[in-house]
Amino acid sequence: MLTRKQHELLLFIQRRLEESGISPSFEEMKEALDLKSKSGVHRLISALEERGFIRRLPNRARALEILRQPDDVSGSARPAPSNVVEMPQAKTPPAPAPANDVIEIPLHGRIAAGVPIEAMEDTQTLPVPAALLGSGEHYALEVSGDSMVEAGIFDGDFALVRKTDVARDGEIIVALVRGEEATLKYLHREGGMIRLDPANSAYEPQVYAANEVQVQGRLAGLLRRYH
The one catalytic residue in 76, 82, 185, 201 is 185
The one catalytic residue in 5, 91, 147, 201 is 147
Question: Among residues 33, 36, 60, which one has the least CA distance to residue 48?
Answer: 33
Q: Is 20 a catalytic residue?
A: no
Interhelix angle 38-50/4-20, rounded to 10 degrees, is 90
* CA–CA separation, 211 and 146 (whole Å): 27
Q: Is 185 a catalytic residue?
A: yes
Integer CA distances (angstroms), 48 to 41, 43, 52, 57, in order: 11, 9, 6, 14
Which uninterrupted H or E stretch holds 4?
helix 4-20
Active site residues: 147, 185
